[in-house]
Amino acid sequence: MNADAGYDRPTPRPLRRWLRRLPLLASGLILTSAVLALLAGLLVSALSGTVEEPPSAAHLVAEPAHIFDRYSAPAPSPTAAPVIEPPLGSTPFQLIIPRIGVEATVNAFGLDADSIPEVPRNGQEVAWYNWSSEPGTGSNAVLAGHVTWSGAGVFYNLDQLSVGDQILLRSADGTELSYTVEENFLIDPNDPSSLAVMAPTNDDTITVITCGGAYSPTGGQFGGYYSDRRVVRATLNQVNPAPGAVVAAN
């Protein structure tokens, strides 16, 4: 994810080049969702309830220093899996990571009128991408935020999370989803297999993405770039109903 001083609309080059351009720049303003061009394939996979290999993205292109690619959505699956009611309801909701002192607002982000993914415009907001699973509905919910933004961003200390740490998502009415960290690792944005972190999963997962690795200042409009992307994967272990909620008997 980049943090740059501005945001331009992309025009076409290959997805991996787009992913390389995503680093979050210290001066601040580009989003961490380095691989959002996978949108259409992932959405169809989520609807069908299956986990598929990411589709070829050779046709996706981006200009240097731009963030997102346009995409062409394949035809939807003729049979959709049963819809699970999202326990958190609609956004916004809160992301709480006690270990590193994060308490941030999560808002839904999707595609604008030009089929380009929208991005958060400050360093403390977190994006949930509405082409991924909604939290608590049985698959992979993808979240992203900045590591730096004219200083520390919301995920500045994400590298400190360890296996077993807790991540909470809490709705306005107090419903809470509790996740346990399973992995914390770096991926190479130049490696096509890194797209797999965005794919649907067979269990209830959140994938939190920001920038990591070495920072290389380059000057100019965007200031520099990060060599890697940091990914934290956590699985749902408990759903706590809103205080006073009536739980239906089995």
Determine the Cα–Cα distance for residues 201 and 203; give it in Å rounded to an integer.
Answer: 5
State the pTM of this model: 0.67
**Amino acid letter, 165:** D
Quickly count: other Cβ atoms within 10 Å of residue 173's Cβ: 14
Q: What CATH number has the domain bearing residue 55? A: 2.40.260.10
In a domain, 4, yes or no: no
The pLDDT assigned to 80 comes to 59
pLDDT of residue 164: 98
**Is 159 part of any domain?**
yes
Give the pLDDT confidence score for residue 53 in this predicted structure. Answer: 45
**DSSP SS3 for 236:** strand
Ramachandran quadrant class, 21 (left: phi over 0; alpha: psi -120 to 50; beta: rest): alpha
Whether 8 is in a domain gets the answer no
| Within a domain: 111 | yes
State the pLDDT at residue 76: 54
Determine the pLDDT at residue 139: 96
CB 205 within 8 A of CB 245: no
Structure tokens at 218: 């380059």
Residue 41: enclosing H or E segment and its boundaries?
helix 39-48
Residue 23 lies in a domain: yes
Distance (Å) of CA 157 to CA 44, 213, 247: 33, 13, 37
Based on the structure, what is the number of domains in the chain? 1
pLDDT of residue 153: 93
Sign of CA dihedral 127, 130, 131, 134: positive
Question: 155: domain range?
Answer: 15-73+86-240
For residue 138, give both structure tokens.
Answer: 């049985």
Tens-digit pLDDT profile for the chain (250 aa)? 544 443 344 433 443 443 444 443 333 333 334 334 443 344 334 444 444 444 433 333 333 333 333 434 445 556 655 677 899 988 899 999 999 999 999 999 987 788 655 777 889 999 999 989 999 999 999 999 989 888 899 999 999 999 999 999 999 999 999 999 999 999 998 888 888 998 999 999 999 999 999 989 887 655 778 899 999 999 999 999 988 775 554 4
Does some domain include residue 149?
A: yes
